[in-house]
Amino acid sequence: MNPKKIGLLFGMERAFPQALVKRINELGSNNLGGGKVVAENLLIDVIRLDQPLPYDLILDRISQDIPVYRTLLKYAALRGTEVINNPYWWTAEDKFSANAIGIAAGVAIPKTVLLPHNSHPPGTKPESFSNLKFPLSWDKIFSYLGFPIFLKPALGGGWKNVYKVNNSEEFFEKYNLTGDLTMIAQEAIDFESYYRCYVIGRERVHIMRYDPKKPYLQNYVPDEPAASPELKARMERDARAICHALGHDFNTVEFAVRKGVPVAIDFTNPAPDADVNSVGKANFEWVVQNAAEFLMDRVQHPRPFSMSGNWPTLFPMLSARPQTIASPATEQVRPAAPQPPKTEISISAAASASPAPETSKKKGRK
């Protein structure tokens, strides 16, 4: 029997893909878990519509930055290659909906509001926004969220265009820099501790103490006191619930802990940082070993394709509707979906697109 083949797709990173390929090939030659498995860096040449890719599984670390890779991976998935993370759901996901999914999964989420584009998207003009109240009820947003507020893109990562603002003047100053990005505004969680959890295969959780206020490369703080057993258990439960709901097999989930409650801040990270220089040696080793074991297990025990995780089953209003298409996602339903906690955490949507009101600074507005 031919060995199962795993391909790695990556950009500038080197240490993680190299270590992962090496580890899989070492473990694979020992016949871990059954049939032989090999791994290699993906080499892309001519992609024809009539030929599948010669891989049983591809780990995607870079298609968020290289759109042609996303198209390639969707095609690979159609032709039977298991792609991690699911390129269809990754394309569809945004932080606002993901936050709604987080709440449905029983996780504490900051109060969040969807904002209209600050500038008109190309090809639109004021008349295009027929359905948008103008001016928007900004006071309602500010009194609901309270200052400070975090402004961040609904689609994004790497702290790009993320701003913390303390009052309405600062809010509009930063909002006016955001052009036609889709932005969300979120209450700032005043946390006593902060954690970043690696989650592989939706079940393997590795909790890392993280200090977002330290400079880059010093964020992971291994010497800090570990979380209490209760907090650890809650973060593990929440991190798993989020990854089952979203259907990400490779993800990090960040929690800001406020008064003992882990509040999920960022959990749409399907290509999370695995650089040994930033995560540190011990975390790096965990990721390499667990990624290798998980990918090898998965390539030998492929799962039925599904478009997303189990989130459609978490929304009673969706389950109540007549179903015309059987959803493979139901196979992943956890026994009892917990109810959202009765905290002040909630979510609300504002209108979907309108310019900001005129402010003294009109930069970035049309």
Ligand X SMILES: Nc1ncnc2c1ncn2[C@@H]1O[C@H](COP(=O)(O)OP(=O)(O)O)[C@@H](O)[C@H]1O
185 phi and psi angles, rounded to 5 deg: -120, 140
Candidates 38, 62, 162, 351: give the one binding ligand X (CB under 6 A).
Answer: 162
Q: What Cα–Cα distance (Å) separates residue 244 from each residue in 112, 236, 241, 338? A: 22, 12, 5, 13
Candidates 152, 174, 206, 234: give the one binding ligand X (CB under 6 A).
Answer: 152
Site string for ligand X, 218-257 (x = CB under 6 A): ------------------------------------x-x-
In angstroms, rounded to a whole number, what is the distance separating the alpha carbons of residues 312 and 104?
10
Burial class (CB in 10 A: 0-12, 13-18, 19+), 235: buried
Is the Cβ of residue 27 or residue 235 nearer to ligand X in the bound state? Answer: 235
Find which of ligand X, Mg ion, none residue 265 binds, CB within 5 to 8 Å per kind: ligand X
In angstroms, rounded to a whole number, what is the distance separating the alpha carbons of residues 284 and 240?
20
Shortest distance in whole angstroms from residue 11 CB to Mg ion = 18
In angstroms, rounded to a whole number, what is the distance separating the alpha carbons of residues 146 and 265?
17
In angstroms, rounded to a whole number, what is the distance separating the alpha carbons of residues 153 and 142?
18
Shortest distance in whole angstroms from residue 17 CB to Mg ion = 21
Find which of Mg ion, ligand X, none residue 162 binds, CB within 5 to 8 Å per kind: ligand X
Find which of ligand X, Mg ion, none residue 238 binds, CB within 5 to 8 Å per kind: none
- Using the rule CB under 6 A, is 212 a contact of ligand X? yes
Stretch that binds Mg ion, among 32-40, 148-156, 217-225, 261-269 (CB under 5 A): 261-269
Stretch that binds ligand X, among 66-74, 132-140, 157-165, 243-251 (CB under 6 A): 157-165
Find which of ligand X, Mg ion, none residue 301 binds, CB within 5 to 8 Å per kind: none
- Using the rule CB under 6 A, is 347 a contact of ligand X? no
Find which of Mg ion, ligand X, none residue 69 binds, CB within 5 to 8 Å per kind: none
Stretch that binds Mg ion, among 111-119, 208-216, 260-268, 349-357 (CB under 5 A): 260-268
Cβ atoms of 48 and 98 closer than 8 Å: no
Cβ atoms of 172 and 361 closer than 8 Å: yes
Is the Cβ of residue 67 or residue 212 nearer to Mg ion in the bound state? Answer: 212
Candidates 93, 266, 273, 293: give the one binding Mg ion (CB under 5 A).
Answer: 266
- Using the rule CB under 6 A, is 262 a contact of ligand X? no
Cβ atoms of 23 and 292 closer than 8 Å: yes
Find which of ligand X, Mg ion, none residue 152 binds, CB within 5 to 8 Å per kind: ligand X
Residues contacting 2, CB < 8 A, separation 6+: none
Q: Is cis: bond before 122, omega within 30 of 0? A: no
Is the Cβ of residue 243 or residue 299 nearer to Mg ion in the bound state? Answer: 243
Stretch that binds ligand X, among 14-22, 148-156, 166-174, 319-327 (CB under 6 A): 148-156
Find which of Mg ion, ligand X, none residue 329 binds, CB within 5 to 8 Å per kind: none
Residues contacting 177, CB < 8 A, separation 6+: 118, 161, 163, 363, 364
Find which of Mg ion, ligand X, none residue 212 binds, CB within 5 to 8 Å per kind: ligand X
Among 133, 168, 104, 204, smallest CA distance to 352 is for 133
Cβ atoms of 39 and 25 closer than 8 Å: yes
- Using the rule CB under 6 A, is 189 a contact of ligand X? yes
Is the Cβ of residue 255 or residue 284 nearer to Mg ion in the bound state? Answer: 255
Touching ligand X, residues 60-119 (CB under 6 A)? 110
Dihedral over Cα of 152, 155, 159, 160: its sign:
negative
Among 155, 159, 162, 193, smallest CA distance to 273 is for 159
Shortest distance in whole angstroms from residue 279 CB to ligand X = 14
The DSSP line for 95-151 is HHHHHHHHHHTT-B---EEE---SSPPTT--GGG-TTS-SS--HHHHHHHH-SSEEE
Binding residues for Mg ion, per CB under 5 A? 266
Binding residues for ligand X, per CB under 6 A? 110, 150, 152, 156-160, 162, 186, 188-189, 212, 254, 256, 265-266
